[in-house]
Structure 1
Amino acid sequence: MTGTAATSTAAIGTAVREKGRLRSALGWLAIAAAVIVFALLIGALSFGAPDSRGALDPESAKGSGTLALAELMRDQGVEITVTRTRTDAIAAIRDDSTLVMADPFSLSDEAVEALIEPADRTVFLSSASRLLRLLDLGENAAPPTSGALDARCDLSEFANVGAVQPDRFFSPADGVTGCFQSDGAAGLLVDDRTGDLTALIEGVRLFGNEHLAENGNAALGLALLGQTGHVVWYVPSLADSDLEAQSPDTLATLTPEWVTPAILLLLLAGIVAGISRGQRFGPLVTETLPVTVRASETMHGRARLTAKAGDAAHAAAALRDGSLRRLAARLGLTARSTAAEIADAASDRLRIPRGSLHQLLDGPLPGTDAELVDTARRLAELEAAVDTAVHVERNTE
């Protein structure tokens, strides 16, 4: 009997040890599978190609695209040739062509001058301080207090445009015609001093699909782009840049070569330490708490109190605070960054005027429900635009 009991005890011990080994192996397999799935997910998010057609793209149907303006011009009998490289744009220019483009941020000064040289008529649909300097058109100016403006210039093509509300204003240089003026600041610059016509306007909001039907925006677009029978629409992109050799240093190029292996080794050591410490005390035990309050209930309760009080400013402050925290994270800023710093970083990333973003992120809070809805929509559009721009930059890098 004693020998049988000892044999049975040994068999039970062996079975327990085998079961423990099996559970340990399954645990490690589960951890490895989770790491692989996480790596695949990160890869999909990093290398997934977002819509690369952005603002002022004549083939984009998004709110900031200009597909509606392009189709309106085609209905008026204007032939449009969309090009995405400088070589194709120069080859497509004819005697009756108007060269149209947004700010060619990806081109050097020499490349911009070579691109516009064969065109008798050039229209820039977004502005930059570099273009003002390069083309000697004038300087940036503070926006006037007035709203929508009439042309107020001697150019006949803009006589019947109607009132528009430009996003950016300029002080024209000597010999440059300024249209849609107020207090000495012009929303449109037209230069024909050399015989060739060059026009510059900040048209992201004027000519985008979302706002084309407002005021005289559509008429202004036709007046600017429809004076000839053929339009060559060049879409700037980083893929067509001639500035690749001048890319700035990054954190990876400035750090020593041993930093990355050291970080990976520390990360691996942390994972191993976490797993080893987590297994010392056995499995987790679920403990029932006295009361469970879901986060969604708290959120809806606070929303109902705010709605009942009619406090639009308080609701807008909460929306703005959340947008600032998310924008700071997407733009690589710290949690302590001010609203002005976040607005500057977002405007630099999106290449849009800083004044509108300062007003949205750091300006007075809305006082009515209609203004609250408009503020929430603009905050959502800004976050989506920044998220798209960050994804595009990561993929091009």
Structure 2
Amino acid sequence: MTGTAVREKGRLRSVFGWLAIAAAVIVFALLVSALTFGAPDSRGALDPESANDSGTLALAELLRDQGVEITVARTRAEAVAAVDEDTTLVMADPFSLSDDAVAELIEPADRRVFLSSASRLLRLLDLGEDAAPPASGALSARCDLPSLADVGDVQPDRFFAPASGVIGCFEEDGAAGLLIDDRGDQRTAILEGGALLSNEHLAENGNAALGLALLGQTDHVVWYVPSLADTDLEAQSPDTLATLTPPWVTPAILLLLLAGIVAGIARGQRFGPLVTETLPVTVRASETMHGRARLTAKAGDAAHAASALRDGSLRRLAARLGLTARSTPAEVADAASDRLRIPRGSLYQLLAGPLPENDSELVDAARRLAELETAVDTAVHVERNTT
């Protein structure tokens, strides 16, 4: 293979590598965008425009087939503006509204239907309280209301104990699945519609007939969908890292991450593979000696320094006196005493006695060791010259 072909192959490999990196960066950016800017579907349970199992689009279409006009309102202002005479106001539990806002919302409507129940609604509207479900399954209406006469059996999953003057339908043992309040000029109905009127359960039993009986008594239905966007409750969520940082922080972090990846790839391609190379290292004995001396001086350890000086003197004296390197201080002291004709005790005290404890004693010991080495060296030279 020629050099040109090799270069072309390397260039193609580099181009494909950069294309793969660019594709990975694009995919990463798309994933981040989907996670950052994607929002969940706002159409939840009992929403008349939701085709999910928990929505009520099927009931809304059934009402339209019967000639009922449906106005979907997602704010209180829209709902109040759409309510007029002969209108049914329908909503799930308005969890996002205060008691005053709920009262203001339902006040203009002559007919109100709540498709999900809550203890707060029961208390606010004085309809009754929660009750334990009876043992039997599907129930008939069992109440004297003409609109419910043709409704078949249904199987509610939540029951209520009606307050005084409130009509309980689908009732057994004092527990009713539907409450109807006709005590004033307005009619209020409440039930748990998730298991009765949702898309998933509308075709079961008499659920569809029940939905038409409750919502199809007027030509116009205003269907209010509660949401947190329409709340009047003042609540402060705790500050998080996302709320405390400016909006530009996340893009800046992503840009820095991308720049770091590109820089790492670029630097990694610039250098070749690592090569192991053994290099000779030579350290002079004097450098080691000076380094250890500086450490000893810095520590202020006179005894350690004296021990090092004594060991060096013993090795040198043993070599000059013809002794082995393993000779003991006593043997060195005996040999030096014979050569110098001085008492052995003073030499043994110098070579094997207690170590100095301070700097002045260390200086004195070093001077005496140097004098001893000089004297032995002189004596050895004199003997060699005379033989």
**Is TM > 0.5 for Structure 1 vs Structure 2?**
yes
Distance 1:212 1:170 in 2: 21
Encode CA deviations 1:61-82: one digit per residue, 9 max, x unaligned. Answer: 3322222222222222322222
- After superposition, residues 223-302 of structure 1 pair within 5 angstroms as 223-243=213-233, 245-249=234-238, 251-252=240-241
**Take 1:209 and 1:161, find their aligned partners in 2: how far apart are those partners?**
18
Larger Rg: 2
Aligned to 1:210: 200
CA drift at 1:229: 2.1
Task: Provide the aligned length of Structure 1 versus Structure 2.
Answer: 270
Which stretches of structure 1, 4 residues or more, deviate above 6 A after TM superposition? 22-33, 253-257
Are residues 1:109 and 2:99 paired? yes
**Partners of 1:59 and 1:29 in 2: CA distance:** 44
- Structure 1 residue corresponding to 2:55, chosen from 44, 65, 75: 65
- In structure 2, distance between residues paired with 1:30 and 1:249: 42
1:194 maps onto 2:184 in alignment: yes
Q: CA RMSD in A?
A: 4.2
Matched, 1:162 2:145: no
Q: Where do 5+ consecutive residues of structure 1 fail to align?
A: 1-11, 13-18, 284-397
- Separation (CA, whole Å) in 2 of partners of 1:250 and 1:187: 42
Cα distance in structure 2, aligned partners of 1:185 and 1:151: 12
Residues 1:130 and 2:120 are matched in the alignment: yes
Q: Which structure 2 residue ranges, 5 or more long, are not aligned? A: 4-8, 275-387
2:167 equivalent among 174, 177, 188: 177
Q: CA deviation at 1:157?
A: 1.7
- Measured against aligned partners, the alpha-carbon deviations of 1:11-34 in whole angstroms (never above 9, x if no partner) come to x9xxxxxx99x9999989966864
- Paired amino acid for 2:63: M
Cα 1:35–1:113 shift into 2, 3 Å: same
Q: Deviations over 1:243-289 (max 9, x none)?
A: 3x4143254489999xx9xx99xx99x999x99xx99xx89xxxxxx
> Which deviates further from its counterpart, 90-99 or 23-32?
23-32
Identity %: 75
The alignment's TM-score, normalised by the length of structure 1, stands at 0.55
Looking at structure 1, the residues matched to 36 and 175 of structure 2 have their Cα atoms a distance apart, in angstroms, of 44
SS of residue in 2 equivalent to 1:57 = coil
Residue in structure 1 matched with residue 134 of structure 2 by the alignment: 144
TM-score (norm 2): 0.57
Cα distance per residue 1:131-179 (max 9 Å; x no partner)? 1222222222222221111112222221221110112112222222211
CA distance in 1, matches of 2:193, 2:219: 21
- In structure 2, what is the Cα distance between the partners aligned to 1:200 and 1:247? 31
The within-5 A match list for 1:71-82 is 71-82=61-72
- Secondary structure of 1:246 counterpart: coil
- The C-alpha deviation readout for 1:83-137, integer Å capped at 9, x for no partner, is 2221111111111111011111222222111110111110011112221222222
